[in-house]
Structure formats: C-alpha cells, structure tokens
Structure 1
Amino acid sequence: MAPKKLTEHLLAHSPDAFTSATRHPWLRLAGTSQLPTDSLLAWLTQDRLYIFSYIPFMGNMLSKTSIPTTSSRIKCLEWRVADCFINALTNVRRELGMFEDILREHFDWKEGGETATKETRAYQDMFAGAGAPSQSILVGMTALWATEKCYLEAWKYALGFKEEVPEEKKSHVLHTTLIPNWTCDEFEEFVICIGDLLDELADDIPEGSREWVKCEEVWQQVLWAEENFWPKVSNP
C-alpha cells in the first residue's frame, strides 16, 4: 500500500477540530445574511491585521527557497515552491486592498486604533514560529496549506446556504465579494497547488519522524487558531 500523503494524514488526524474550524456558527450567519454588522466589522478588522503577519511569513519562506536560474526551472520543485509563495503574496496584497475598500465603503472606516485580539495574536505567533529560520520549508508549507485549506472549506460551507439568502440581501458585500473571493475556482486551484507541493516536499519524510510530528503540531495550531478567529455569535 502506498504511503499516506501528508495532506491526507493531516485531514484525518483531527477531523472534529477541522469541522469546528470550518463550520463555525459565524459562517452560517454569514452565509444566510443574518450576521450582525458589528460582527462582520470585527472580523474584517482582525483579518486585515492578520494579513500583516502573513506577509512577513511569506517573505521568510521565500528567503529559504533556492531558486534555479536555468530556463528549465519551471519544472523544478524549488521553483514551483517559490512561485507558490510569490502567488500567495500577490493574492494577499490584493485582499488587503479589498478589505480596506470594503471597510471604507461599507463601514465608514477610519484607519488606526485597531489592536490584535488574542485570537489574531495566536495566528501571528503561529506564522512567526513556522517561518522561523530554524524551521524547514516543509513546516512553513504546512502552515500555509493549513490556513488556506481552512479558509476554502469554511467559505464553501458559508456558500452552501446561498438558497436561504433573501433576494434583497443578495447584493450584500458578503455575497458579492467576500464569499466569492474564497470559493472561486482560482482560489480552490491555488489551495490544491499548495497541497500538491506539500505532499511532494513530504514524500521522503517518514511518518512519525520529528519533521512529520512538527507538521502535525502546526496543523493543530492552525485549527485552534482558525476556530477561535471567527467572532463569537449566538447559534443560529
């Protein structure tokens, strides 16, 4: 029997925690347009702060890559990993602008005054640890895949309630911009690409090895951070 891929192993490792992280009551309210405005604002401002730890994390990961200079580099794992990190930075730069546009247009947002909650700081700490010089590209790629996989599945869960959205609420920014951003084909393909690269990087890593266990720890850390990152709401 072929060895289990790391992504498959992680998804099977903590199924209940993964469900809690990606099927939070906040997401159901978002998907059905019942989310209180202050709860959406709280999430937007914290996700914006989250981005400012994601960017240096990706910079740290890029600094660890050895980029081939030959014209055939496109086929090399090293180049594909670096290209993935570059794409992640490009995506998050666009999302930062998207968040700030939404905040200004829909919430009369004035920049300044926001501080990271303990839940956001948990993500900041996770990125700092996974991107530290002592950590491998494999560990960092695990952190990247874990965060993006959770977001993909979380927003797909929210999208699943689209039939319950009243007609007059379909023009809300949740349904025109936010939910489509993380459920579109392009984002799903990006997450699949990260997962494929992660499995390729882990191909020679024995299950139960120190590196393998570290990836499990990062996965658990992300699941805890993700579940708690969604603002608390009353169960719908």
Structure 2
Amino acid sequence: MRVRCLHCGFVRAKNTTRQVEHLAGCQEFLSSTEGQQALANGDLVLTPAEVKPGGSDIWRGSAPNPNLAGVVHRRGPNKSRQSTGANATPARPAAPKPSLASHLVTKLSAALAEATQKSFLSHAGCGTLSAAALKQWLAQEIHISRALVPFVGSLIGKVRIPETSNLTSDPTYRAIDLLCSAVNNMKKELEFLESTKRKYDLRVDMEEPQPATQGFIDLLASASSPDSSLLEGLVILWATEHCFRVSFQYAGNFKSTMPASSSYQLPSYLNPSAPSSTMYSTSEKRADAQHIAALHEAFIQNWTSANFVRFVSACKSIVDEVANAQTTGNGKTEMTACERRFKQAIAMWGQIWPEVDGMGEEEERAEAGANGSGEKPIEIDDDADADGAADSPYGGTGLGAIDAHNRESVSAQ
C-alpha cells in the first residue's frame, strides 16, 4: 500500500491526493520535461511553502483543491464504495427459472401441431363442418369432460401440504388451490355443454366411448393412479387444457376467411330453379345451420376466451413450480415420466377428432377394427426413449439441474 516517487525516491502512502501534492513540491519532477509540461498546463499548484500570504486556503485544508476535481473520488464515512449514480454497477439480474412445460412443448412441437391442426377444426372455423361430424365429436367430448372430474379429484388426494411458515408460496399448496379451481371449472363445463345442446337444438345421441376416447380416459386414470406422481398428473391436466386451447385457437383462425353473406339478388333467368327472393339472403337461415352457430358462438368462444387462456397459463405455472421443487437424485426418472405422459396425451388427442373430407362431411372408415366398429387401430408409444435419456432444458440430464440452478440463484442474492 506504499509507492515510491520515480524522480526523487520518496516513499509515501498510496493516495491520489498525496501523490499530486508531492509532485507539486518535488524539484526533480518539476525540473523534468513532464513536470514543466504539467506546470504549463495548470495541472499542478504551488507547494504550501510557496503560497503567498492572503492566498488560497487549499493547503490549510479550508478549501478543496480545484485541480483535483474529477481526479479524486471522495467518499464520506456514510457512503458505500458502490455509488447509486449513473456509474454504479448494475445488480445482477435473477436467472430465469427453468420451465418443464416449455421444454415439453418445444421437444414435441411437431406432434402437438399435428394433433391440434386437423381438418375437422379448419372446417369448424370456416363454417363448412357437417352437423353429423360435430355431433359425433360432441358425443365423445362429453365422455372426456366427465372423466376429468374424478381425475382431478384423485390428484387432490395425492397432495400432502407440508409445514411451512409461508403457506401461500408453497408449490403443493398452490397446486391444490389450482386443482380445486379446476374441479369447479369442469363442473361448469359440463353444464355449458348441456346448455349449448339445448340452446342450439343439437340432438346428440348417447354413444359408447370410441377406442380413441376410451384410450384418453384410460390415460387420465393411469396418470392419477397411486403409481404415478403428482407431477405426472399435473402434466396431463395441463396438456389436456393446452390442447383444448391450441385446437380451438387454430379453428378460430379460419373464422375471418368465411365468405361474407350478401343480399344481392341475381336475375331469375340465371337460376330459374331458385326463387330470387331467397338467394343470398341473410334474413333466413338454413335449418341445419344451428350447429355452425354453436361452433362459432359457443365452443370456439369458450375454449379461446381470456379466462380460459389464463386458466391454462396457471396450469403451466404450477407444473413448472412443482417440477422445480423436485430435487430427488438427478431427476431423470421424473423427466422421463413427464415426457412419456405428455407424448401419450398428444397422441390420444390427435385421434379423437372425426375424419372429414374436403367438404367437411364425415368420411367412411376404410378399415374396420376387430370389433367391426370401423375405427382405426390406436397407435401410441408409451415407452421411454430407447436410450433411456431425457435431455433437460436446463443443461445436464433430468430435473437434477434445477437444484444447481436454485443454488446459483441463492448465491447470486
């Protein structure tokens, strides 16, 4: 902490103020070319011995040295070394928490797009879907909506709320808060389906679950069984609601492409078989157009509404919170199970839509199943990857990297 003058060899404490004062009185320095230049530029002032009476009080400590302004950064006893001004070092931003849900969507983005961008949905948005196709889908959708209620109830039974000083911030408590809201929402959804059928006179026949529908119901039961973790069940819940949202948002994209109706009337000789008073008229609706109104005014609106989008976002957040709390081992087992469940949900979701032709009519099945129902055989890969690896979006393998991320966040604070 000491320095030596390169000109006279004087040793002093390392201090910028003392350095300038010494150089102002160092004859060896003043006689050098560098010293003469400093005097000519006004960078140095006279030493105290050469101060004239009545002169400046700089060297008596009564006034600051103006030549040191901008050179010496003084700080008082109550000021910290880190200034809060413009030159202050910005605080290190908190690292974003890893997202298991985002990883799943990214890894299976192609399969998700294929399952949620069906011709059934594009025809539904364009208004060209047949009433028979809609009623067939609605009959199967009711089975899934009913199965979701006991599924969520089983997930609630898995929750074990720990003893904690801040209960509302605990992931498991927040999970049960979401699950209670989900049960209430699913009860309202069942009422919504029934009221929509009555309002738009949709006479849906009671049907047994088709193989794809039954497969989805079995997946809900498997994900809520005692052998499955709470995190797996939450992934299936979020995947189901996410698929609802993405599917009907895709259908809603086609609503703006519908041809606008017109009251313009053609001369009767251009179409003698049709009365000119009814051609292109908006005052009368076709008798079978009620199902299109139900699609546009009820179903698409319900599963793309702002409240539903917020609910799906809440499901995603809970999945990430519970995943971040999983620090058992390296988390490879949890990661593999979640990827398998998400893959199963997407595979089953893509098969619940009725096949329609280019006119929006239901297609006849070319191949009949073993039971003669005409359904396509269900294909689903419920095995993990062949190499057993589950690449983590956080670096490394499995959810164990979350623990390292959390430790890094704590050390940064």
Q: Which moved more, 1:32-41 or 1:99-108?
A: 99-108
Cα distance between partner residues in 1 of 2:348 and 2:227: 22
Alignment of 1:66-145 (within 5 A): 66-67=160-161, 73-107=167-201, 109=203, 113-145=206-238
Q: Deviations over 1:69-118 (max 9, x none)?
A: 9996333322211111111111111111111222234345377x420000
Structure 1's unaligned 5+ residue stretches are: none
**TM-fit CA distance, 1:3:** 7.3
- Does the CA contact (< 8 Å) of 2:118 and 2:353 recur in 1? yes
- Does the CA contact (< 8 Å) of 1:42 and 1:231 recur in 2? yes
Q: Residue 307 of structure 2 aligns with which residue?
A: 186
**TM-fit CA distance, 1:67:** 4.3
- Does the CA contact (< 8 Å) of 2:172 and 2:322 recur in 1? no
Distance change in 2, residues 1:193/1:110 (3 Å): closer
User: What's the secondary structure of 1:134's corresponding residue?
Assistant: coil
Cα distance between partner residues in 2 of 1:187 and 1:54: 16
Task: Determine whether 1:46 maps to 2:169.
Answer: no
- Does the CA contact (< 8 Å) of 2:116 and 2:250 recur in 1? yes
Cα distance between partner residues in 2 of 1:110 and 1:151: 20
RMSD between aligned residues? 2.5
Alignment of 1:182-221 (within 5 A): 182-203=303-324, 204=326, 209-221=332-344
Q: Which moved more, 1:80-89 or 1:124-133?
A: 80-89
Which one of 215, 226, 230 corresponds to residue 349 of structure 2? 226
Cα distance between partner residues in 1 of 2:330 and 2:165: 35
**TM-fit CA distance, 1:190:** 0.6
Q: Which amino acid aligns with 2:216?
A: Y
Cα distance between partner residues in 2 of 1:144 and 1:229: 17
Q: Deviations over 1:98-146 (max 9, x none)?
A: 11222234345377x4200001101111001100012111000000011
TM-score, length of structure 1 as denominator length: 0.90
Cα distance between partner residues in 2 of 1:143 and 1:110: 28
Cα distance between partner residues in 1 of 2:115 and 2:144: 16
- Does the CA contact (< 8 Å) of 2:196 and 2:298 recur in 1? no
User: What's the secondary structure of 2:351's corresponding residue?
Assistant: helix
Q: Which amino acid aligns with 2:305?
A: C
- Does the CA contact (< 8 Å) of 2:135 and 2:204 recur in 1? no
Distance change in 2, residues 1:201/1:71 (3 Å): closer
What percentage of residue pairs aligned between the two structures are identical?
29
Task: Determine whether 1:176 maps to 2:297.
Answer: yes
- Does the CA contact (< 8 Å) of 1:145 and 1:195 recur in 2? yes
Distance change in 2, residues 1:71/1:109 (3 Å): farther
Distance change in 2, residues 1:178/1:125 (3 Å): same
**Greater C-alpha Rg:** 2
Q: Deviations over 1:142-162 (max 9, x none)?
A: 000111111111111111112
Task: Determine whether 1:151 maps to 2:244.
Answer: yes
Cα distance between partner residues in 2 of 1:81 and 1:133: 17
Q: Deviations over 1:26-80 (max 9, x none)?
A: 1101111111000100111111111221111001001111347999633332221
Q: Residue 100 of structure 2 aligns with which residue?
A: 6
Task: Determine whether 1:161 maps to 2:282.
Answer: no
Cα distance between partner residues in 2 of 1:137 and 1:208: 14
Cα distance between partner residues in 2 of 1:71 and 1:29: 53
Q: Which moved more, 1:133-142 or 1:64-73?
A: 64-73
- Does the CA contact (< 8 Å) of 1:41 and 1:107 recur in 2? no
